[in-house]
């Protein structure tokens, strides 16, 4: 059984309780900070919701655009860090704040690490409790626990 087999099965796991092991879409943009920033900036919830949705969609397009490369070489083990002088990112941080900026840079770094050539999110078996990639053993263990839960519900 491979990581891909486990995360494929994990996609259907129940989400009624907070899962320790599950599937994370690496490189997905978290739109919650956009929502929070827009609620502070716009007078009505409707205007804030509309603006947050448009803004998040725009930045998801930027993420997918392989011609935009806001990285610079560094002595970091990965060899690259976010270029804080990038105009788009500077404007985003200035206009919407550090939480929105951090959501965007997190997505960029994940994309660059997990799928640098494709610039689209990929699925990864993830240990949410420890914020790291889950081992195959952890995935299988979680899968067996989920199977037992389903089995008990049927009986």
| Strands of the chain, DSSP E | 21-26, 71-73, 80-82, 122-127, 132-133
At 65 the pLDDT is: 92
Dihedral pair phi/psi, residue 59, rounded to 5°: -75, -25
The pLDDT of residue 19 is above 80: no
Six-digit token string for 110: 């994940």
Tokens 């939480």 identify what position?
99
The pLDDT of residue 59 is above 50: yes
pLDDT tens per residue, range 118-146: 888 899 999 999 989 999 999 898 889 88
Q: How far apart are CA 127 and CA 19, in angstroms?
A: 9
At 102 the pLDDT is: 97
54-61 average pLDDT score:
96
Which of 18-27, 76-85, 94-103 is most confident? 94-103
Cβ–Cβ under 8 Å, residues 19 and 143:
no
Q: How many domains does the chain contain in total? A: 1
Range of the domain at 38: 3-154
């Amino acid at each position: 059984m491979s990581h891909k087999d486990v995360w494929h099965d994990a996609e259907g796991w129940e989400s009624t309780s907070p899962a320790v092991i599950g599937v994370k879409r690496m490189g997905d943009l978290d739109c919650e900070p956009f929502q929070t920033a827009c609620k502070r900036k716009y007078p009505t919830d409707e205007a804030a919701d509309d603006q947050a949705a448009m803004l998040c969609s725009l930045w998801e397009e930027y993420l997918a655009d392989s011609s935009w490369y806001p990285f610079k070489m560094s002595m970091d083990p990965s060899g690259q860090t976010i270029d804080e002088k990038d105009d788009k990112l500077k404007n985003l941080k200035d206009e919407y704040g550090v939480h929105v900026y951090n959501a965007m840079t997190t997505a960029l770094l994940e994309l660059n690490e997990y799928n640098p050539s494709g610039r689209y999110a990929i699925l990864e078996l993830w240990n949410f409790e420890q914020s790291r990639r889950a081992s195959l053993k952890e995935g299988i263990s979680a899968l067996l626990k989920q199977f037992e839960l389903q089995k008990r519900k049927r009986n």
